Amino acid sequence: MNEKSERFIANGLLETLGEDAEYQTFRTPHASRGLIAIDQTTNSSNAKAFSSGAHSHSTTLGQRKLTCGVALHMRVYLSSVRTQGGHCDGTKVERRYVEYNFKDSGKMGLDIYVDPCTINCRKVLAGLALLEVPYSEKFINYFEGEQKSPDYIKINPMATIPAAVDGDCVITESNAILQYAGDLSRIENAYPKDLKQRAEVNRWLLWEASVWFSSCYTLLVENVVKPLLKSQPDQAVIDGAHPGFHKLAAVLDAQLAKTRYVAGPNVTIADIAVMAPAHLHAASQLPLEKYSNINRWIRDMESQPYWQKTQGAVNKALLPGTSANTTNGSTAATLPSHSKHKSVRSKLNYTKALNNQLTELYFYEDDEGKYKTIHEPGDDEQEVEIYDGWAWKDTFDHDRHGFSVKEFKTSFVGSWEDDEGVRSRFYPEIVQFLKQTTGAKKVLVFDHTIRTKANAAKKLTQENGTSQRAPVRLVHCDYTAESGPTRVHQLLPTEAPTLLTRRTAFLNVWKPLSKVEEMPLAMCDIQTSPPTDFFKLFLRYRERTGENYVMKYSPDHKWWYFPDMTEDQVILLKTYESEEGKARFVGHSAFEDPESRVGAPSRESIEIRTICFF
């Protein structure tokens, strides 16, 4: 082997530098750069590594072997020297260099033992992506307990993941792995070399590990893991965790008020570490509403490619029902997981969208008989799965999902058949409740409908007595983008022009009058129902024409219900919303619950229609 064809083994990769080695270039995904000066002779070689935005081990080449902590992009300087009797006399004859990189290494970078869905494993994977450090992923199934296997315990006696192996170096703490990878990386801002900047990053790494992780993790276990394992969250634990969480969130929010990212103007491994425990902030129900700086930072982090690329494994393991849609005007938000939840299958009445005919419903007998030839709604019966939402009751948000469930106790003791009594004594309670629940400045209650056994035989199109009806077994929404503002003008003709300059939302308050044991209400999560699934139903009255939305069927729709609701609980339904980015129209329907007991009393409920002005 001549001095121009030295063979180097780097992390198990055998490469040959040929006659024109000084012109060869090898690339890696991260192109991290270091300098290696090589004194090369026929019989012996010495190598010394100089770090330049990279971390390398100094090595000897006497055995033609170059071992680096990670396969980096290196500029290799080759210096030929004169030899005498096999010994170097130190006289340099020639100097050249080659850009050297380990692209297709059989063993490139770190060995990372992870289950990507866990907080600390996701932290490491996102961090390595940020740092652009190559690695080989070794999957350890956390839920199957593979971290406790004898083979893995040889690597990490603590039986925890993640772990990183770099030759004979084993690292078993997630933040330590990030720090080690930061020293290997060429991305200088991600783990700064400046001691003061690095101290700031390290401070937040320790803060995350010592207090932030456990605070977020408590809420993740109660609101995500327990429901996934078919266990009920412990409200006492949740309530007990909130004060401590708010104390820590206030500290983080104050920091983010001063800097764009946790440790300064640039993303660092501190951002990755602090973001990781909050990675399921919506499903975990982290109480972040009042922390505007944290919410701004979370949106920023969630938009980053190194964070997004680690989301799929989390969704698959913990949130299999997640949708990435930003449909129906809603913001992208985590859908509750329902794959392991109780569910029932029942038939819902969708409507076929006809290209050449309107969909109409007449509330009076047309003298000319035109109603006999119209296309009426509800002509597409579909069997769907409807999921029990109780384990996620605090996750559902009417501004994100289109519906929510709340506790509500009324002091009203009169007859629900007494329209005047309901309006004078019950309506004010609804106004106050919605102001407190939604933050609305003005609430108008303009209508209500009683659904009782006595009304079960009434037709949907009954012209009179519309305040008392049977449950509606039709997938629909009560208003459209046009009929919502029109209704405001009808009800408040003088104030409407001013009020409609503000955010306006129509909310129906659906309240059982007794325990619901049959014909419950089902809601379609707005994040699974894009605007194209809705189309107009024209309601023909003698004196006017109204508009509802009906829906065409899609297998992507996700339906939820709350079985056995009581009179102290209500569902809020979003039937119109003026503000883009919020849930606008929720499809809903009564349905036959196949699990209702024989002889169960007919459902009795009241639906109060309101407009909230913000």
The single-letter DSSP state of residue 411 is: -
Q: Which two tokens stand for residue 216?
A: 């977020």
pLDDT at 453: 62
Pair type for strands 534-540 and 73-84 = unpaired
Angle between helix 235-258 and 292-302 (nearest 10): 80
pLDDT at 208: 97
- Reported confidence tier of residue 54, pLDDT bands at 50, 70, 90: very low
Question: Per the confidence metrics, is the pTM higher than 0.75?
Answer: no
Alpha helix stretches (DSSP H) within 20-102: none
pLDDT at 188: 87
Whether the pLDDT of residue 322 is over 60: the answer is no
Question: Do 249 and 256 contact (CB within 8 A), yes or no?
Answer: no
- Reported confidence tier of residue 13, pLDDT bands at 50, 70, 90: very low
pLDDT at 516: 95
pLDDT at 69: 34
Pair type for strands 87-100 and 110-114 = unpaired
Question: Do 391 and 341 contact (CB within 8 A), yes or no?
Answer: yes
Domain final residue, candidates 72, 100, 128: 100
Same structural domain, 291 and 361: no
Same structural domain, 257 and 282: yes
**The domain that contains 553 carries what CATH number?**
2.60.120
Same structural domain, 385 and 353: yes
Q: Which long-range contacts (CB under 8 A, 24 or more apart) does 493-497 make?
A: none
Same structural domain, 273 and 404: no
pLDDT digits (tens, 9 = 90+) for 64-94: 233 333 333 333 333 333 333 433 334 333 3
Is 334 within the bounds of a domain?
no
Is 16 within the bounds of a domain?
yes
The single-letter DSSP state of residue 221 is: I
**The domain that contains 293 carries what CATH number?**
1.20.1050.130
pLDDT at 460: 53
Is 332 within the bounds of a domain?
no
Dihedral angle sign, alpha carbons of residues 73, 170, 135, 277: negative
- Reported confidence tier of residue 332, pLDDT bands at 50, 70, 90: very low
Same structural domain, 501 and 451: yes
Is 335 within the bounds of a domain?
no
Of the ranges 2-16, 115-129, 457-471, 531-545, which one carries the lowest mean pLDDT score?
2-16
The single-letter DSSP state of residue 346 is: E
pLDDT at 326: 36
pLDDT digits (tens, 9 = 90+) for 255-276: 999 999 999 999 999 999 999 9
Name which residue leads in pLDDT, 395 or 55.
395
- Reported confidence tier of residue 341, pLDDT bands at 50, 70, 90: low
Same structural domain, 476 and 577: yes
Residue 484 CA to residue 487 CA, distance in Å, equals 5
Same structural domain, 225 and 307: yes
Residue 554 CA to residue 563 CA, distance in Å, equals 24
Is 64 within the bounds of a domain?
yes
Same structural domain, 91 and 134: no
The helix, strand and coil proportions of the chain, stated in percent and rounded to the nearest 5, come to 30, 25, 45
Per the structure, the count of domains in the chain is 3
Whether the pLDDT of residue 15 is over 50: the answer is no
Residue 294 CA to residue 568 CA, distance in Å, equals 34
Is 336 within the bounds of a domain?
no
Residue 34 CA to residue 26 CA, distance in Å, equals 13
Is 537 within the bounds of a domain?
yes
Please give the average per-residue pLDDT across 19-32, as a whole number: 33
Domain final residue, candidates 289, 311, 333: 311
- Reported confidence tier of residue 284, pLDDT bands at 50, 70, 90: confident
Nearest to 602 by CA among 520, 535, 489: 520
pLDDT at 305: 87
Question: Do 391 and 238 contact (CB within 8 A), yes or no?
Answer: no
Pair type for strands 163-166 and 559-561 = unpaired
- Of all helices (H) and strands (E), which one includes residue 401? none
Please give the average per-residue pLDDT across 335-349, as a whole number: 71
Average pLDDT, the chain: 79
pLDDT at 320: 59
Same structural domain, 519 and 587: yes
Same structural domain, 481 and 364: yes
Whether the pLDDT of residue 8 is over 90: the answer is no
Same structural domain, 76 and 133: no
Cα distance from N-terminal residue to C-terminal residue, the chain: 81
pLDDT digits (tens, 9 = 90+) for 412-463: 998 998 999 999 999 999 999 999 999 999 999 999 999 876 655 555 555 5
Same structural domain, 410 and 557: yes
Counting residues of the chain whose pLDDT is more than 70, the rounded percentage is 75
Domain of 129, in residue numbers: 110-311
Q: Which two tokens stand for residue 296?
A: 């701004």
Alpha-carbon distance values, 98 to 61, 108, 210, 238, 438 (Å): 17, 20, 46, 60, 66
- Collect all residues with Cβ–Cβ distance below 8 Å to 514 and sequence separation of at least 6: 566, 567, 601, 604
Domain final residue, candidates 100, 130, 157: 100
Is 317 within the bounds of a domain?
no
